[in-house]
């Protein structure tokens, strides 16, 4: 039979643990929400033809046409390939990324002028992708386990009452952002808005907004979105004109040979 003082001592420790630890049910809810967003059905493979529009006030917009491919491989590996179709000065340039299951990324850049595939560092997270407001980090899949999540509450965005999720990197040196706040449609787990905090935790530096989505082959496609630099007002708009899912893209499409030979890749364009 346990001593009454021992019982009291156990109760005290239990309550102390409850007090000091983050509320478990709440943290679980946040992580579950982040995981549901990450795991939202997106097809085994995904092909898009789209445009990136770089806008500044008082200047003509600059438009880049891009074809992109994504293939989920076995073992948690994801392969992505992007090729620029326009304008002429970057047409043919390609980027191949292999996101490994351990979170690391291998990247190769194809430069048509040299006809050469170059390995580049995938750690260039804060570099601007072709001069846009998108950082390389924004283009990489971010596993939910890389952040600590917290639900801040509910708020309307795009006319939808969204769950508002705060995500702070577990390893602060691993991201250019101090934190991200996402507005998530609880019915579809589609993110409607993201505020990115770079300099401090109070003022967002960038904002991503969903502008349009469509249902293709049973999958939701984010057809129109924009990333806004809140300080300068620059905008980068991403428009997907065509989206194809589950085309049985072959693994050989995600090789240096296909990266260097546009002819091999172009057959899989929409």
Partner 1 sequence: MKNVFLTLTLSCVALPFLASGSAFAASDLPPPRDPSPLAVDDLPPPRHTKPIAADPATPQTSTTDDLPPPSLRSRRTARGFQPVFKAGVDDLLLETGALPDAVEADMYSSLRTSAYVLWQPSRNWEFRAGARLDGMAQDGGRADHSELLADYSDTYVRYRIENTRLTLGAQTIIWGRADEIPLADRVSRIDLTRFSLDDLADRRRAQLAARWEQSFGNYKLDAVWLPVFRGAQLPDVASIWSPVNRTTGQIIGIDPALTPWVSQARIDEDEHGSGGGAIRLTKTGDPFDFGVTLARTRQSLPYYRVDLPTATLTAVHPFNTFAGADIELVTGGLTWRMEAGYTSDVPVTLANTVMDSTQSLDWIGAVEFFPGGRDTRVNLQLVAHALQTDRNILELKEYYGANGEIETTFSQGRWKAAMRFASGFNVRDIYLSPKLSYTGWEPHELYVAAHYFDGEARTLGGFHQDHALITLGLRTRF
Instruction: Give residues 163-192 in contact with partner 1 (rule: CB under 8 A).
Output: 164, 166, 176, 181, 187-188, 192
Q: Does 139 contact partner 1 by CB under 8 A?
A: no
Burial zone of 25 (CB within 10 Å; 0-12 exposed, 13-18 middle, 19+ buried): exposed
Alpha-carbon gap, residue 227 to 234, rounded angstroms: 8
Q: How far is the CB of 244 from partner 1 (least distance, A)?
A: 5
Q: How many residues in the shown chain lie near partner 1 by CB under 8 A?
A: 106
Site track for partner 1 across 63-102, x = CB under 8 A: x-x-------------------xxxxxx------------
Q: Does 120 contact partner 1 by CB under 8 A?
A: yes
Closest by CA to 151, choosing from 20, 19, 28, is 28
Alpha-carbon gap, residue 35 to 31, rounded angstroms: 6
Please enumerate in sequence order all residues whose Cβ is within 8 A of that of 30, keeping only pairs 6 or more positions apart, or say none. Answer: 149, 150, 151, 165, 166
Q: How many beta carbons lie within 10 A of that of residue 159, not counting itself?
A: 7
Q: Does 1 contact partner 1 by CB under 8 A?
A: no
Q: Which of 36, 42, 68, 117 binds partner 1 (CB under 8 A)?
A: 117
Q: Does 33 contact partner 1 by CB under 8 A?
A: no
Closest by CA to 54, choosing from 226, 232, 231, 262, is 226
Q: Does 263 contact partner 1 by CB under 8 A?
A: yes
Q: How far is the CB of 184 from partner 1 (least distance, A)?
A: 13
Q: Which of 172, 212, 231, 250 binds partner 1 (CB under 8 A)?
A: 212
Residue closer to partner 1, measured from CB, 72 or 130: 130
Q: Which residues pair with 235 in a beta bridge?
A: 55, 228
Q: Does 20 contact partner 1 by CB under 8 A?
A: no
């Amino acid at each position: 039979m346990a001593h009454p003082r021992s019982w009291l001592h156990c109760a005290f420790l239990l309550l102390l643990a409850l007090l000091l630890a983050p509320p478990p049910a709440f943290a679980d809810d946040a992580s579950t929400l982040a995981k549901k967003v990450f795991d939202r059905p997106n097809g085994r493979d995904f092909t898009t033809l789209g445009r990136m529009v770089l806008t500044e006030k008082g200047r003509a917009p600059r438009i880049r046409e891009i074809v992109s491919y994504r293939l989920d491989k076995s073992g948690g590996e994801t392969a992505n390939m992007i090729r620029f179709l326009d304008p002429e000065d970057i047409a043919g340039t390609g980027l191949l990324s292999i996101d490994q299951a351990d979170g690391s990324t291998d990247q190769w850049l194809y430069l048509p002028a040299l006809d050469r595939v170059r390995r580049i560092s995938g750690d260039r997270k804060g570099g601007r992708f072709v001069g846009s407001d998108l950082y390389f980090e924004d283009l990489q899949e971010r596993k939910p386990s890389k952040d600590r999540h917290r639900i801040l509450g509910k708020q309307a965005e795009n006319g939808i009452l969204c769950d508002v999720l705060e995500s702070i990197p577990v390893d602060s040196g691993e991201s250019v952002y101090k934190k991200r706040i996402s507005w998530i449609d609880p019915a579809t787990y589609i993110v409607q808005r993201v505020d990115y905090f770079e300099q401090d935790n109070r003022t967002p530096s960038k904002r991503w907004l969903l502008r349009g989505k469509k249902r293709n082959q049973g999958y939701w496609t984010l057809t129109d979105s924009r990333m806004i630099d809140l300080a300068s007002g620059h905008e980068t708009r991403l428009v997907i004109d065509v989206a194809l899912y589950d085309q049985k893209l072959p693994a050989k499409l995600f090789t240096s040979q296909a990266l260097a030979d546009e002819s091999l890749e172009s057959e899989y364009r929409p």
